[in-house]
Each structure stands twice: as structure tokens, then as C-alpha cells.
A = this chain, B = another copy of it.
Amino acid sequence: MNRAALQWRTEPRAQDAPAVERLAAESGFFNAEEVAVARELVEERLAKGLASGYLFVFAEEQGKLLGYACYGPIAGTQASWDLYWIVVERGLRGQGVGGRILAETERLAREGGAARLYVETSSREQYSPTRRFYLSKGYGLEAELRDFYAPGDDKLILVKDLV
């Protein structure tokens, strides 16, 4: 893929809701409930605008959605932000698209006043590529909540300082 070809868009459109649902479902990383949430966040943003607290970065090539991230400031904090979702088209894995989306998200979050970006993931073996991805991008393990998701399935909280 031509690295120069990615276009960025931050304003969600109605058709992003089904597109995001498809990307998340096809990724194999999320269960049905999580896929529904991915779509709902787009719909909530479309309904409530920036007051929803959900910001988006869509990566496109000639109008086709290749991946996206959803992030936003954490209410009640001075400068802590959450990365809620990052999804890349299944066929494009390993080509650095996720890293480029993450870098663009960090740039926009920093521009918006973020001092640090949090991300949550599971301790399950299935998510070890996710953990490796974040660790390779400068995120550090900040906390582990034992058995949070289910017995033996901990929640890991990673964080990166953006300033």
C-alpha cells in the first residue's frame, strides 16, 4: 500500500455507523456486544455532537474506510484522555496502518490538551498482539485489575505521556 494514500477525516457521517460495525465485526477481536458498542459510539456522536465526548479519526483511501480510532477527554480530569477503540481493516494488518492511526490520534489529543492517553485491554492470550502493539508505541502498564472481565481475565490499563 502506498503510504501517502491515507486520508484523514475527523467528522463522522451517518454511513460510518455501519462501516465501523463491519470493521469491528470482521476484525475478530470483539464480541457481539462490543461490536454493538462500537457502532453506538458513532451514533451517539452523530446525535449529540462534541458534547458526546467521543472524538474520531477515520483513515480512508479513495473514500474507503481502512480503520479508525475513537477517543476523548475523561470527564472530571484535567488532561487525561481515553482511547476507546482502534480498529484496522482485517486485510491490512501488519502494514503499519494501526500505528499511523494511533500516531494521528495522539497528535490530535495532544492538540486538544491531552497530557496522557489511557487504553484498556484484556490479559487474555488473544490480546497479546494488542498489548505488544501498545508497548511498542511507548505505552506502559499502569494497572492490572484482577478478574475484572471474568475469572482469570484481568483488565490491563496502559498509559502514554503525551507531553
A residues whose Cβ falls under 8 Å from a Cβ of B: 33-34, 37, 74-80, 115-116, 118, 142-151, 157, 159
CB <8 Å contact, A76 and B33: yes
CB <8 Å contact, B33 and A148: no
Chain B nearest CB from A115 CB (Å) reads: 8
> Chain A interface secondary structure, helix, strand, loop or mixed?
strand
Closest to A34 in B: B76
Chain B nearest CB from A54 CB (Å) reads: 16
Contact sample, A vs B, 30 pairs, CB 8 Å cutoff: A33-B75, A33-B76, A34-B76, A37-B75, A37-B76, A74-B148, A76-B149, A77-B148, A77-B149, A77-B150, A78-B149, A78-B150, A78-B151, A79-B150, A80-B145, A80-B147, A80-B148, A80-B149, A115-B147, A116-B147, A118-B145, A142-B143, A142-B145, A142-B146, A143-B143, A143-B144, A143-B145, A143-B157, A145-B157, A145-B159
Chain B residues whose CB sits within 8 angstroms of the CB of A74 once the complex forms: 148
Closest to A150 in B: B78
Chain B residues whose CB sits within 8 angstroms of the CB of A116 once the complex forms: 147
- Give complex CA distance A145, B142 in Å: 6
Which of A37, A142, A144, A151 has most B Cβ within 10 Å? A142
Chain B residues whose CB sits within 8 angstroms of the CB of A34 once the complex forms: 76
Chain B residues whose CB sits within 8 angstroms of the CB of A149 once the complex forms: 76-78, 80
- Give complex CA distance A142, B154 in Å: 12
Chain B nearest CB from A80 CB (Å) reads: 5
- Give complex CA distance A159, B76 in Å: 21
